[in-house]
Chain A
Amino acid sequence: MDPVPKKKISVKINGVVRTFEVEPRLLLVYLLRDDAGLTGTHIGCDTSICGACTVMLDGAAVKSCTALAVQADGGEVLTIEGLAQGEKLHPIQEAFWQCHGLQCGFCTPGMILSAYQLLKRNSKPTEVEIRHAIDGNLCRCTGYQHIVDAVQMAARLTRRKARGEGRESRSSKRKATSRNSSNSKIQN
């Protein structure tokens, strides 16, 4: 078996465009873990069942152990490392902490990203919808109950935040308008 020539790819990972030279058979998860140095994405089964390797690729949750790195060429990946904003945890992370939604932590990054996709699509999921949405992520520690609680709490936090931002942006718009109008007054 002769070595296959490497392929140059470019992927935006957690907001930063990076280029890599990879074997065509390289799995996306190894690109992230070995080449990009982001080891928060875990490998738990190799057969696309456990979901520990879940990342967001172009806005959809995918299992990076069964996607090729070359398939992400030109695409955008969000890994667990890209979720918090500096010191500030993402509301899903905050909720997992509050609700004791993790024990050994190995499934957690994938679990959080599946919840992230759910909450992007459905801001007020029912318990049944949550359980369905994380059905592709296995957790052996928690029995899922605290995870479900955490996703419910995250949904509440996110809605509250959105309402807050909505109010803020409406009021800042108003402020901006009044400022504009005052400016215009001055101009007048």
Chain B
Amino acid sequence: MPVSKLVGARVKRHEDPSLMRGLGVYVDDVKLPGILHVAILRSPHAHARIKNIDANAARQRAGIIAVFTGREIKDEIGTIPTTADNPTLRIPPHRVLAADKVCYVGEGVAVVAAEDRYAARDALDLIQVDYEPLPVVTDPEKSLTPNSPVIHSEWPDNLAFSWQQEQGDIAGAFKQADRIVKQRLVHQRLAPIAMEPRGVLARYLADSKDLTVWSSTQIPHLLKTHLAQMLNLPENHLRVIAPEVGGGFGSKLNVYAEEALLGYLALKLNRPVKWIEERQENIRATIHGRGQVGEVEAAVKKDGTILGLRYKVVADIGAYHQLFTPAIPPFTGLMLSGCYKIPAIAIAVKAAFTNKMSTDAYRGAGRPEATYVIERLMDCVARELRLDPVKLRQKNFPKSTEFPFKTATGLAYDSGNYQSALAKALELAGYGKLRREQERLRGRGRYLGVGVSTYVEICAMGPGFWEYGKVEVEPGGKVNVYSGASPHGQGQKTSFAQIVADQLGVELDDISVIHGDTALVAKGIGTFGSRATAVGGIAVYQAAEKVKEQARELASHFFEVDPDDLVFSDGKFNVKGVPRKGLTIRQIAHQAHGATNLPGNLPRELAADATFEPANFTFPFGTHICVVEVDPQSGRIEIKKYIAVDDCGKVINPLLVDGQLQGGIAQGLGQALFEEIVYDENGQLLTGSLMDYAVPRAADMPRLKLARTETPTPVNPLGIKGIGEAGTIGSTPAMVNAVADALAPFGVTHVDMPLTPQKVWRLCRRAPGAGARR
């Protein structure tokens, strides 16, 4: 790696000035002449047959340009795609609008296009739908029982797919065990709640047959490919633009009904059409996350050695698959070993259809579930064996010299030093003192809890998912960087510029990073799985390296010396031993552009691209420690301290890494404390607005103390691991472990999330003074 001056520096973001002035352009800010506003009529029933739809009154209303029902356009648009490599996968046809039957509250049944947004909304009220309600199932475990209502008649068992894996001698492990520790764990459904709801704008130019779709998406290039199939359009007549995107967290890593529907309307009506999701639609009809109910059991020796692990989990899929729905539960299975040496692991996933919105990737996507399982389990084992939870963890860590470390789930962790992150966190928390303080306070009827979570996660997707980057130097010397990653808040306009500035020796302000437009960036995958920097950043780095080599070739021609006689330092190519005779990248680009008699083997311009596909995933890790005090009178949880020591390998911009962690931790604590998507047994969504779905607020969050260790990955040349999801993954078990620890004197070994005051208060009343045991 070259000597760098910007990589590793706390550089302010290039993105910010326009966003802070209110000049960022999100989908709803794009205005086109003649635009029509689209509204979607959604099912109020969780499961019902559509007997009839009468849209005449809506069609006749002034200002209404078109109304289409699901039945009318049934065969005009392809089904919503899903991807997974699983032979047991059952894929019910998932149409952009329901034709004959609705399977969840919020499923679209008709669409209106109108001259203004108010008229479109008014028209929805005029559409008469005659529903015949059907029996509903919302509980995934009940859905898999023989007497459950059937959601898709082709598959009466409601099984969406199954997946199992077993490595090591599981039966032997449980035979040799001194103890078997079991725990049932619920990962409640969550709503991602990107602050910008989804939105789509589509424009068709009939003359050139070009369709442009602006969408609030994390994956413009994947979306383009899928939309071309759904709309039966040639891909080269389709352009997808992700303008400013107001957060995603996985919820915009998808191909949604509305994206295809708006494309269809633009083609059909030959007018630009725009749909902006309302928050209440967002909570009904944008993917949910988590939704797993599992039972874990560990075979352990008295000294705390973990011999084996069994995990049986039912995943709540919802009514249909979205893009990565079937990929999430297996991800949980793969990461079950956590950061421990566990010689035998068996996983069995059963995925159940339910009358609810689909679950899919939400920040962490399968890994928070895995980390929660193993980290809660470690605390349960520690409690059972009367060991300190920290000592138990230390006992089962692989040594830093044991990497690449192979797990009994089939992964090879790239690099790690779990001991050092834990040690640093313990020191920052003052762990020994905390335990003494806890003892002292318990004597006075005050309940302090200390929760430790030592996590490892899987990042930088990865083998099978490449990313594209291109670097070009304009004749005037300015540099354009193109990336197939599609950042939406992560700040890669800045961090990619830092990488390229160091490589080419150019000023940061002379670099523009371009992304999110399939017409400008030749190809790409997108931003998800903490991959944008660890995969996309590497592609950009490699493209910059190639540009530097082109510049070397040109410089050797201009200087009339052998390329090997040139050295690059301080942004200049110099002839060895002649430091004053130098050419900058900018000068070389300019000279090449205007040169006469340039030999044919030399490039006219400095421009190169690269596609990077890592050979392995990366495995960031760390330790989070949460200290709480629980008030048994009110059930209130006060966060006294929160320490996070994270290791994401090499860091490009520490400011951005801190931001990712703080936001991620807030989301993880949100799951632990407040958030839950609740459907009643009729499939009605009880948490359908932000008045009912509790996103953490500023006053709910503690001040976090962040620190880092740095263990580079050998998987890519910059040693970067990725940091987008670590906070969410590490924090949830730290909080629940802390509260379970605080409630130990009440005989509480486990509490399911969210840890609402009511739930905690009940536990404190249920078992008064059941005796302290830690």
Contact at A148–B698, with CB atoms within 8 Å? yes
Q: Which residues of B contact A46 (CB under 8 A)?
A: 278-280, 689
Q: Which of B660-684 contact A (CB under 8 A)?
A: 661-667
Contact at A104–B246, with CB atoms within 8 Å? yes
With an 8 A cutoff between CB atoms, is B488 at the interface?
Answer: yes
Contact at A89–B20, with CB atoms within 8 Å? yes
With an 8 A cutoff between CB atoms, is A139 at the interface?
Answer: yes
A46 to B721, CA, bound (A): 38
Q: Which of A130-149 contact B (CB under 8 A)?
A: 130-132, 134-135, 137-148
A176 to B247, CA, bound (A): 53
Contact at A138–B697, with CB atoms within 8 Å? yes
Contact of A84 among B21, B664, B690 (CB under 8 A): B21
A3 to B62, CA, bound (A): 10
Contact at B697–A104, with CB atoms within 8 Å? no
Q: Which residues of A contact B196 (CB under 8 A)?
A: 42, 44, 104, 106
Contact at A47–B489, with CB atoms within 8 Å? no
Segment at the A interface, from B11-19, B44-52, B470-478, B557-565:
B11-19
Number of interface residues of B (CB under 8 A): 60
Contact at B703–A141, with CB atoms within 8 Å? no
With an 8 A cutoff between CB atoms, is B98 at the interface?
Answer: no
Chain B's nearest CB lies how many Å from the CB of A18? 17
A153 to B479, CA, bound (A): 34
Segment at the A interface, from B387-395, B499-507, B651-659:
B651-659
Chain A's nearest CB lies how many Å from the CB of B275? 13
With an 8 A cutoff between CB atoms, is B578 at the interface?
Answer: no
Contact at A145–B12, with CB atoms within 8 Å? no
Q: Which residues of A contact B698 (CB under 8 A)?
A: 130-132, 134-135, 137, 139, 144, 147-148
- Residues A106 and B20 in contact in the complex (CB < 8 Å), given A42-B246, A138-B195, A148-B698: no
Interface string of A63-93 (1 = CB under 8 A from B): 0000000000000000111011000010001
Q: Which residues of B contact A139 (CB under 8 A)?
A: 195, 698
With an 8 A cutoff between CB atoms, is B244 at the interface?
Answer: yes
Q: Which of B4-37 contact A (CB under 8 A)?
A: 12-13, 15-17, 19-26, 28-29
Contact of B19 among A108, A130, A135, A142 (CB under 8 A): A108
With an 8 A cutoff between CB atoms, is B249 at the interface?
Answer: yes
Contact at B663–A81, with CB atoms within 8 Å? no
Interface string of A143-173 (1 = CB under 8 A from B): 1111110000000000000000000000000
Contact at B691–A47, with CB atoms within 8 Å? yes
A126 to B697, CA, bound (A): 17
Interface string of B76-88 (1 = CB under 8 A from A): 0000000000000
Chain B's nearest CB lies how many Å from the CB of A21? 14
Contact at B691–A49, with CB atoms within 8 Å? yes
Of B19, B20, B194, most A-chain CB atoms within 10 Å: B20
Contact at B118–A105, with CB atoms within 8 Å? no
With an 8 A cutoff between CB atoms, is A17 at the interface?
Answer: no
Q: Which residues of B contact A80 (CB under 8 A)?
A: 20-22
Q: Which of B684-722 contact A (CB under 8 A)?
A: 689-691, 695-699, 701, 703-704
A128 to B278, CA, bound (A): 32
- Residues A105 and B701 in contact in the complex (CB < 8 Å), given A44-B195, A52-B195: no
Q: Nearest A residue to B248 by beta-carbon distance?
A: A104
Q: Which residues of B contact A138 (CB under 8 A)?
A: 193, 195, 690, 695, 697
Contact at B23–A100, with CB atoms within 8 Å? no
With an 8 A cutoff between CB atoms, is B491 at the interface?
Answer: yes
Q: Nearest A residue to B23 by beta-carbon distance?
A: A40
Q: Which residues of B contact A109 (CB under 8 A)?
A: 20, 22
Contact of A144 among B17, B691, B701 (CB under 8 A): B701
Contact at B697–A145, with CB atoms within 8 Å? no
Of A93, A141, A142, most B-chain CB atoms within 10 Å: A141
Of A49, A102, A106, A138, most B-chain CB atoms within 10 Å: A106
Q: Nearest B residue to A144 by beta-carbon distance?
A: B698
Q: Nearest A residue to B665 by beta-carbon distance?
A: A143
Q: Which residues of B contact A134 (CB under 8 A)?
A: 698
Contact at A47–B659, with CB atoms within 8 Å? no
Q: Which residues of B contact A141 (CB under 8 A)?
A: 195, 247, 489, 659, 663
Contact of A50 among B22, B195, B699 (CB under 8 A): B195
Of A1, A97, A100, A138, most B-chain CB atoms within 10 Å: A100
Contact at A96–B16, with CB atoms within 8 Å? yes
A47 to B62, CA, bound (A): 28
Chain B's nearest CB lies how many Å from the CB of A59? 19
- Residues A97 and B20 in contact in the complex (CB < 8 Å), given A135-B699, A140-B249: yes
A49 to B197, CA, bound (A): 14
Q: Which residues of B contact A81 (CB under 8 A)?
A: 21-23
A25 to B507, CA, bound (A): 51
A148 to B659, CA, bound (A): 13
Contact of A39 among B29, B490, B691 (CB under 8 A): B29
Contact of B195 among A79, A100, A106 (CB under 8 A): A106
A35 to B22, CA, bound (A): 16
A43 to B662, CA, bound (A): 24
A2 to B333, CA, bound (A): 59
Contact of A79 among B22, B26, B280 (CB under 8 A): B22
A53 to B249, CA, bound (A): 21
Interface string of B56-93 (1 = CB under 8 A from A): 00000010000000000000000000000000000000
With an 8 A cutoff between CB atoms, is B532 at the interface?
Answer: no
Chain B's nearest CB lies how many Å from the CB of A109? 5
Q: Which residues of A contact B23 (CB under 8 A)?
A: 40, 81
Q: Which of B214-230 contact A (CB under 8 A)?
A: none
Q: Which residues of A contact B12 (CB under 8 A)?
A: 97-98, 100
Chain B's nearest CB lies how many Å from the CB of A31? 13
Q: Which residues of A contact B20 (CB under 8 A)?
A: 80, 89, 93, 96-97, 102, 105, 108-109, 112
With an 8 A cutoff between CB atoms, is A107 at the interface?
Answer: yes
Contact at A104–B488, with CB atoms within 8 Å? yes
Q: Which of B235-251 contact A (CB under 8 A)?
A: 244-247, 249
Contact of A105 among B19, B664, B727 (CB under 8 A): B19
Q: Nearest B residue to A105 by beta-carbon distance?
A: B19
- Residues A103 and B490 in contact in the complex (CB < 8 Å), given A97-B12, A143-B665: yes
Q: Which residues of B contact A97 (CB under 8 A)?
A: 12-13, 16-17, 20
A28 to B234, CA, bound (A): 42
Q: Nearest B residue to A112 by beta-carbon distance?
A: B20
Chain B's nearest CB lies how many Å from the CB of A14? 10
Q: Nearest B residue to A44 by beta-carbon distance?
A: B195
Q: Which residues of B contact A41 (CB under 8 A)?
A: 22
Contact at A131–B699, with CB atoms within 8 Å? yes
Contact at B691–A43, with CB atoms within 8 Å? no
With an 8 A cutoff between CB atoms, is B166 at the interface?
Answer: no
Contact at A104–B489, with CB atoms within 8 Å? yes
Contact at A146–B659, with CB atoms within 8 Å? yes
Q: Which residues of B contact A52 (CB under 8 A)?
A: 195
A46 to B666, CA, bound (A): 23
Contact at A105–B244, with CB atoms within 8 Å? yes
Contact at A143–B704, with CB atoms within 8 Å? yes
With an 8 A cutoff between CB atoms, is B122 at the interface?
Answer: yes
Q: Which residues of B contact A79 (CB under 8 A)?
A: 22
Contact at A1–B278, with CB atoms within 8 Å? no
A130 to B62, CA, bound (A): 48
Q: Which residues of A contact B278 (CB under 8 A)?
A: 46
Contact at A106–B26, with CB atoms within 8 Å? yes
Q: List 19 A-B contacts (CB under 8 A).
A: A40-B23, A46-B278, A47-B691, A50-B195, A80-B21, A97-B17, A100-B13, A100-B655, A104-B196, A104-B244, A105-B16, A106-B195, A112-B20, A131-B699, A138-B690, A143-B666, A145-B701, A146-B658, A148-B698
Other A-B contacts than A100-B655, A132-B698, 8 sampled, CB-CB below 8 A, are: A39-B25, A44-B195, A79-B22, A97-B20, A140-B249, A141-B489, A142-B662, A145-B703
Give the 5 A-B CB pairs with smallest separation, nearest first.
A40-B22, A106-B246, A105-B19, A104-B489, A143-B666
